[in-house]
A = this chain, B = another copy of it.
Amino acid sequence: MDIEVLAVGGYNEFGRNMTAVRCGKEIVIFDMGIRLDSLMMNPDVEMENTHSLDLISMGVIPDDTIMNSLEGSVKAIVLSHGHLDHIGAVPKLAHRYNAPIIASPYTIELVRQHIEGEKKFGVNNKLYALKAGQQYTISPTLTIEFVATQHSIIDTVTPVLHTPRGAIVYALDFKLDRTPVVGEPPDFARLQKLGKEGVLCLIAEVTKIRESGRCPSEQIAKNMLQSVISSYEDDPSAIVISTFASHVARVKTIAECVHSIGRKPILLGRSMERFCATAESMKYVRFPEGTSIFGNRRTVERTLRRVMKAKRDEYVPIVTGHQGEPGSILTRIAEKDVPYKIEKGDKVMISAQLIPNDMNRAQRYRMFSLLGGQGARIFDELHVSGHAYCEDHYELLQMLNPTYVIAAHGGLDITSNYVDLAKDFGYMLNKDFFLMANGQKQKLA
Query: A residues engaging B (CB < 8 A)?
Result: 12, 41, 59, 178-179, 212-214, 216-217, 219-220, 223-224, 227-228, 230-231, 344, 349, 357-359, 361-366, 369-370, 373, 375, 377-382, 390-391, 394, 411-417, 419, 423-424, 428-431, 434-437, 439-440, 442
Contact = CB atoms under 8 A, between A and B. Distances in A.
A386 to B, nearest CB: 15
Contacts of A423: 437
A364 B214 CA distance: 20
Contact of A430 (B380, B391, B416, B430): B430
A364 B357 CA distance: 12
Given A179-B227, A216-B227, 5 more contacts: A214-B231, A362-B363, A375-B424, A430-B442, A435-B435
A336 to B, nearest CB: 11
What 7 A-B pairs have minimum CB-CB distances, sorted nearest first? A412-B416, A362-B362, A213-B379, A429-B437, A358-B365, A413-B413, A358-B362
Nearest to A7: B429
Nearest to A433: B437
User: Which one of A224, A358, A365, A379 has the greatest number of beta carbons of chain B within 10 Å?
Assistant: A358
A60 to B, nearest CB: 12
B429 A440 contact: yes
B380 A212 contact: yes
B437 A419 contact: yes
A428 B416 contact: no
A216 B231 CA distance: 11
A416 B424 contact: no
8 contacts: A12-B419, A213-B381, A223-B223, A358-B364, A358-B366, A359-B362, A428-B439, A430-B437
User: Which one of A59, A361, A429 has the greatest number of beta carbons of chain B within 10 Å?
Assistant: A429
